[in-house]
Amino acid sequence: MNKCRDVIKPEIIPFYEKVFVDGKTVVVLEVNGIDKPYYLFKNNKKTYYIRVGTTVREATREELRRLFQASGSIHYDENLVYNSSLEDIATDKVTEYFENFRGMAFENLPEEEKENILINSKILTNGEDKILCTVAGILLFGKEPAKFLSQSGIMFAHFKGREISGELIDRKELNKTIAENIRNICEIIKLNLKHSSKIEGLERVEKEEIPERVIREAIANACIHRDYTIYGAKIRVFMFEDRLEIRSPGIPPNTVTVDNMKTGISVYRNPVIVKFINDYHLAEGMGRGIPMIIREMKKISGKEPKIEI
C-alpha cells in the first residue's frame, strides 16, 4: 500500500480486503483511479504506461495526448504542435479576426502584447524553451495546416447514382484553415447540388434541395467536433443522387448520444475551435445546430436526416 503511494502519482489508495477461499487467505486488491492518467515517479522521472493486450508498455506521445484528453484534464485543441512557431501563423488572418470580432487594432500593438493575446487566446502556448502553436492555432490561423496536421482537411466526392462504386463526377480536397474549408466546401456542394424551380406569379423561383444554412451547420459541426487525434482520416463529404453524407472521424465525447444531440445537448471536444468558429458566425452555437438541421430538413422532405455513430 505504501509502495503505491510512494511511486504512483497522483496518489492512489487501493481498496484492500482479505477473504477466505477453500481454507486459504486471499488478498483482494481493487484499484479504481479517478484522477487518470497516473504515472510512475522514479529517479525523478515521470513515466506513463498503458496496457496493450497482456503486455504493459510505456505510452507514446500520441497515446499520452489521448489519455489526457479522455480524462478531461486537457482538450486536444489546446495541445502544443511540435516544431511549430509564430512564423507558421498567418498574421493577416489573425489581424483580421481581432479587428473584426474583438474590436482591437491588433496590427498596431507591440509584438510582446500581440504574443500575450495569442497565448491567452490559446492560439500559441509556452513550450519548454520557446513559444509554439497550439492545435487550434494551426487549424484556425495556420499558413499550412496540413503541414502539421495532415488529417485536418476535407475530402469531397460526387458520385453518379446512389453507391460509392458509381462514376466519379467531381472530386476536391481542401486543406486550408477550418473557416476557409467550411466556406469553400459549402460553395462546392452548392455548385454540385441539383436545383428545382417553380413559377410564383410571373417569376421563376429556384428551390434548394438542401438549404445553405443546413449545409453550413452540418459541415461546421463536423469540423469543430471531430476527433483530431485520429491521424490519416479526413472529414469526408460524399454526394449521391439521393443524399449528401458527411462523415466525421471519431465518436462524440463523454457519452454524448444521438438523442442528446437532437435535443440540443452538446459537449465540446475542441472548445477553443468552437469559440472562434462561433465568432465567425459559421455555426449556430449553444447546441442549436442539430435541432435546426432536423427542423429545416423535415420542412423540405418530411423526413429527419439520419445521424449515425
pLDDT in tens, 67-100: 766 665 568 898 889 899 999 999 999 999 999 9
What pLDDT is attached to residue 187?
A: 95
Q: What percent of the chain has pLDDT over 90?
A: 50
CA distance 195 to 294: 20
Cα dihedral 212→215→217→219 (10° resolution):
-140
What is the reported pLDDT for 29? 74
Cis bond upstream, residue 37 (ω within 30) = yes
pLDDT at 290 over 70: yes
Contacts of 109 (CB under 8 A, 6+ apart): 117
Q: Which grid cell sits at 204?
A: 421563376
pLDDT at 65: 66
Q: Which residue has the cell 486471499?
A: 26
At 144 the pLDDT is: 96
What is the bridge-based pairing of β-strands 235-239 and 154-159?
parallel
Distance between CA atoms of residues 307 and 305, nearest Å = 6
Residues of the chain above pLDDT 70, percent: 84
267 three-class SS:
coil
List the grid coordinates of 158: 460526387
| Residue 299 Cα distances to 1, 234, 302, angstroms | 63, 31, 6
pLDDT, greater one: 239 or 76: 239
> Could you give the residue ranges of the DSSP H alpha helices within the chain?
2-7, 61-71, 91-101, 111-120, 135-141, 145-148, 178-192, 212-225, 258-262, 271-279, 289-301
- So what's the pLDDT on residue 205? 66
Span 230-259, mean pLDDT?
88
CA torsion, ordered 181, 183, 188, 191, to nearest 10 deg: 180
Can the peptide bond before residue 10 be classed as cis, meaning omega within 30 degrees of 0?
A: yes
- Strand, coil or helix: what is 293? helix
Is the confidence at residue 62, as pLDDT, over 70?
no
282 within 8 A of 182, measured Cβ to Cβ: yes
Mean pLDDT of 215-243: 92
- Core vs surface per residue 194-224: b (16+ CB within 10 A) or e: eeeeeeeeeeeeeeeebeeebbbbbbbbbbb
Take residue 99 and report the three cell numbers written for it: 479587428
Quick one: pLDDT band at residue 117, thresholds 50, 70, 90?
Answer: very high
- Contact 155/236 with Cβ under 8 angstroms? yes
Residue 182 corresponds to which cell in the numbers above? 467550411
CB 47 within 8 A of CB 39: yes
- Output the pTM of the full model: 0.76
pLDDT value, residue 106:
92
Judged by DSSP in three states, 209 sits in: coil
Give the model's pLDDT for residue 214. Answer: 94
Q: With 70 as the cut, is the pLDDT of residue 200 above it?
A: no
Best mean pLDDT range from 4-18, 20-34, 173-187, 283-297: 173-187
User: Which of 33-37, 130-134, 163-167, 269-273 is predicted with the least confidence, judged by mean pLDDT?
Assistant: 33-37
Residues of the chain with CATH 3.30.565.60: 151-301
> Looking at the chain, how many residues does it have?
309
pLDDT value of residue 47: 80
**pLDDT score at 195:** 65
Q: For 151-301, CATH number?
A: 3.30.565.60
The amino acid that residue 29 corresponds to is L
In Å, how far are 241, 284, 295, 305 from 302, measured between CA atoms? Answer: 18, 22, 9, 10
Is it the case that residue 5 has pLDDT exceeding 70? Answer: no
Q: Do the bridges between strand 24-30 and strand 203-208 make them parallel or antiparallel, or are there none, so unpaired?
A: unpaired
